[in-house]
Copies of this chain bind each other. A is one copy, B any other.
Amino acid sequence: MQLLWLCLLPCLYLASQCSAEQGLEFPSFDGKDRVLHINERNYKKALKRFDMLCLLYHEPQPAHKGKQKQLQMTELVLEVRGKRGLEEEGSLYVFKDDRVIEFDGELSADTLVEFLLDVLEDPVELISNPMELRAFERMEEDIRLIGYFKGEDSYYKAFQEASERFQPYIKFFATFDKATAKHLSLKMNEVNFYEPFMEEPAILPGRQLSEMDIVDFVHQHRRATLRKLRAEDMFETWEDDMDGIHIVAFAEEEDPDGYEFLEILKDVARDNTNNPELSIVWIDPDDFPLLTTYWEKTFKVNLFKPQIGVVNVTDADSVWLDMSNDEDLPTAEELEDWIEDVLSGKVNTEDDDDFRDDYDYDRDEEDSHQPDDRRDYNRDEEDSD
């Protein structure tokens, strides 16, 4: 086993390409090795030296290190892991001050860098005027907490300490402004918790909240009735399944049809927000262009239209609500009936397997807008002979 430090920050800036017009140069690799390989002698120093560090914890590289060296590394990893709470091999960890933040998102440069930039921001954002309040109210996709405090006193500090434990996944806001607090019906030292897509917040019990009061409440209420899949924590969300399944809804928010379906979905989520058995994962295919074709193949659905279904996360087997009539999206009531059938087990991914093999597969293949790649590739080879 081996440790590798990716000192991505403060060295994100690499040499840039030349072009006729200046101002949009994407970074390209300049040949300098900015990755620090960690050993027993330098790991403590490295932790001290940088404000923020990004660590890739991976399997040993083959035929690269002697056996004794490997043993030493294993011990070191175990030591660091014990101290820092690292658990999964193949994971990325960010060290900031005393905190270890696991990155469980899409491993692309874009997503990782955005994540690191978010970690660099202040964990609590202040709201001090009506326009900022409007910005706060528009963020319906995210879990948000907002507290009203006199100023930077001990209650605010407890709130801030709690916020650091969830940065950048859960957003924390505070206000010292009476009018803003009044608009949000917040009393002094009170904290509100907004579940995604819900209109009314939950009020945290008690009004002189400790850091742990807040942390515990967030842990208890973290799994939302409707949650959007985000590149920055997509694997964490996917691993948080409900007894091996996910109810998955595909809808493009930018598409009129997708928008309409999403509004119906939000209504259903609002009606069922107190059902702990229910959590729907909403995926906007626009956010995951590289997965769109894979999903269409795996789930045998056409993602140019909204879809809702049940996915078994063990084998990716799935069943989907029939919405083949374009003009006729289901009503909130019809959707609730279907969800009830899913939760009771009446609709499940196993019952239809025989049926699917005989019939469903072929129909869905035609419905999909992506031709079979293997077939086309072979055709292509034949023709170019």
A311 to B290, CA, bound (A): 34
**Residue of B with least CB distance to A281:** B23
User: What is the oligomeric copy number?
Assistant: 2
Q: Do residues B113 and A289 form an inter-chain contact, with CB atoms below 8 A?
A: yes
For window 336-385 of chain A, which residues contact chain B by CB distance below 8 Å?
Answer: 369-373, 376-377, 379-380, 383-384
Q: Do residues A380 and B36 form an inter-chain contact, with CB atoms below 8 A?
A: yes
**Residue of B with least CB distance to A261:** B131
For window 252-269 of chain A, which residues contact chain B by CB distance below 8 Å?
Answer: 254-260, 263
**A289-B256 contact in complex given A22-B316, A32-B377, A383-B45, C-beta closer than 8 Å:** no
Interface residue from B7, B120, B248, B379 paired with A369 (Cβ < 8 Å) = B120
A–B complex contacts, Cβ < 8 Å, 25 sampled: A10-B371, A10-B373, A13-B370, A16-B294, A21-B238, A21-B313, A21-B314, A23-B313, A25-B291, A25-B298, A26-B106, A26-B290, A26-B291, A27-B291, A117-B292, A120-B369, A126-B256, A127-B256, A128-B327, A129-B260, A132-B259, A132-B260, A135-B254, A135-B259, A139-B254
Q: Do residues A238 and B294 form an inter-chain contact, with CB atoms below 8 A?
A: no
**A260-B135 contact in complex given A241-B21, A376-B11, C-beta closer than 8 Å:** yes
Q: Do residues B373 and A290 form an inter-chain contact, with CB atoms below 8 A?
A: no
For window 121-150 of chain A, which residues contact chain B by CB distance below 8 Å?
Answer: 121, 125-129, 131-136, 138-139
Taking the nearest CB of chain B, how far is it from the CB of A99, in angstroms? 18
**A24-B235 contact in complex given A108-B110, A135-B255, C-beta closer than 8 Å:** yes
Is there a chain B Cβ closer than 8 Å to A42's Cβ? yes
Q: Do residues A289 and B24 form an inter-chain contact, with CB atoms below 8 A?
A: no
A314 to B20, CA, bound (A): 7
**A13-B241 contact in complex given A121-B304, A259-B134, C-beta closer than 8 Å:** no
Is there a chain B Cβ closer than 8 Å to A84's Cβ? no
Taking the nearest CB of chain B, how far is it from the CB of A318, in angstroms? 9
Which chain B residues lie closer than 8 Å to A128 at the CB level? 327
0/1 string, A217-246, CB within 8 A of B gives 1 = 000000000000000001100110100001
For window 18-55 of chain A, which residues contact chain B by CB distance below 8 Å?
Answer: 21-27, 32, 34, 36, 42, 45, 49
Taking the nearest CB of chain B, how far is it from the CB of A36, in angstroms? 7
Interface residue from B106, B108, B134, B289 paired with A114 (Cβ < 8 Å) = B289
Which chain B residues lie closer than 8 Å to A26 at the CB level? 106-107, 290-291, 294
Which chain B residues lie closer than 8 Å to A63 at the CB level? none
Q: Do residues A256 and B316 form an inter-chain contact, with CB atoms below 8 A?
A: no
Q: Do residues B23 and A377 form an inter-chain contact, with CB atoms below 8 A?
A: no
Is there a chain B Cβ closer than 8 Å to A153's Cβ? no
Taking the nearest CB of chain B, how far is it from the CB of A39, in angstroms? 10
Q: Do residues A289 and B45 form an inter-chain contact, with CB atoms below 8 A?
A: no
A10 to B295, CA, bound (A): 15
For the complex of A and B, the 9 pairs showing the least CB-CB separation, nearest first, are A135-B259, A22-B316, A132-B256, A114-B289, A131-B260, A113-B289, A135-B256, A11-B373, A12-B293
